[in-house]
Amino acid sequence: MGKYHQLSQEERYTITFLLKRNNSLAEIARQLKRSKSTISRELRRNRSNHDDGYRAEVAHRYATARRKRERRRSHFSDDQWKVVFRHLRRDWSPEQIVDHLKRFHTFTMSHETIYQYLLWDKKHGGLLYKHLRIITKRVRKRYGSRDFRGILPGKRHISTRPAAVETREELGHWEGDTVIGKDRYHCILTLVERKSGFVIIKKLRSRTVKEVTAAAIRAIRTHHKLFKTITFDNGVEFHGYKKIEEVFPVICYFATPYHSWERGSNENANGLIRQYIPKKTSMKNLTQYKCDWIAKRLNTRPRKRLGFKTPEEVFNAA
């Protein structure tokens, strides 16, 4: 049997023409001097998704794109892809993997190649894409209603924070928030250090001032020398902040209500945590052990903005 050749665009136009004249697959194969299985496979793989018919222009575009993808993947061996898959399963991003390959392996690939493979894998029923982070949507204020959220006399507004907090020049400046579960009762407290991205997660039995304040004190006590300021979300659960300031030499600030982007580090960290605790998931059975495991997972993940160092490396370098 001679070497197989891909169908040309001219042959695809011929197939389109003969199909419109109601020719059988056997007759089309005979006129093109191709096997019947070749024609059958062509119709199955390159049929238009729009009208469930076969059109030469669309079929040729599908085939060309498929060959490009296959050539791109064929540049790398199965063993090389196994290295990539191993790090994907550790929840590393494609950019983090590429930097690791450059530093510790004899080959590299572009992060776009990895993303394209993940899209292809998802389309064909694969689950590797689930190891990528989940981006949460911003919550927006309902306009036309008066805002009573977070009102407490004496709170320091985020605009009064020192310049060093904004520039991330030094360690010790944190952002805090709560992430709620499905039942809106069981939840977690998250604290993120702005310069390093180091995260602390504490399980809460309820989102009350007493519970949140106690959890924050436990978190700060572990690293109290590296706590200078905390910028909290404006929720009422943080109204016990004066107790925190009495126990530690920490100054607390508060973001503007419904301006989640003012605490970008915290919002980003919460999005990463949602990869492990998806929305609409109950936190009733979530343990502090699992919270610590998630925090460790995030704190040992390389970050692009840190020159691909981990938050733990940067935080512990102080």
111 backbone φψ class: left, alpha, beta (φ>0; ψ -120 to 50): alpha
Contacts of 139 (CB under 8 A, 6+ apart): 258, 260
pLDDT per residue as tens digits for the range 86-117? 999 998 988 899 999 988 888 888 888 888 88
| DSSP for the chain, written as a single string | -PPP-PPPHHHHHHHHHHHHTT--HHHHHHHHT--HHHHHHHHHHS--TTTSS--HHHHHHHHHHHHHHHHHHHTS-HHHHHHHHHHHTTT--HHHHHHHHHHHSS----HHHHHHHHHHHHHTT--GGGGS--PPPPP---TTS---TT--TTPPBGGGS-HHHHHT-SS-EEEEEEEE-TTSSSEEEEEEETTT--EEEEEESS--HHHHHHHHHHHHHHTGGG-SEEEE-S-GGGTTHHHHHHHSS-EEEEPPTT-GGGGHHHHHHHHHHTTTS-TT---TT--HHHHHHHHHHHHTS-BGGGTTB-HHHHHHT-
Question: Which residues in the chain show pLDDT less than 50?
Answer: 1-2, 135-148
The whole-number pLDDT of residue 146 equals 46
The whole-number pLDDT of residue 136 equals 36
The whole-number pLDDT of residue 249 equals 93
57 token code pair: 């222009």
Rounded to whole angstroms, the Cα distance separating 318 from 299 reads 15
The whole-number pLDDT of residue 77 equals 83
The whole-number pLDDT of residue 152 equals 65
The whole-number pLDDT of residue 283 equals 92
Contacts of 164 (CB under 8 A, 6+ apart): 170, 173
251 token code pair: 């100054």
**Residue 266 CA to its chain's centroid (Å):** 14
The whole-number pLDDT of residue 69 equals 60
Q: Whole-prediction pTM value?
A: 0.57
The whole-number pLDDT of residue 54 equals 85
Q: For 205-265, what is the HEC assignment?
A: CCCCHHHHHHHHHHHHHHCHHHCCEEEECCCHHHCCHHHHHHHCCCEEEECCCCCHHHHHH
The whole-number pLDDT of residue 279 equals 85
Phi and psi torsions of 225, nearest 5°: -70, -15
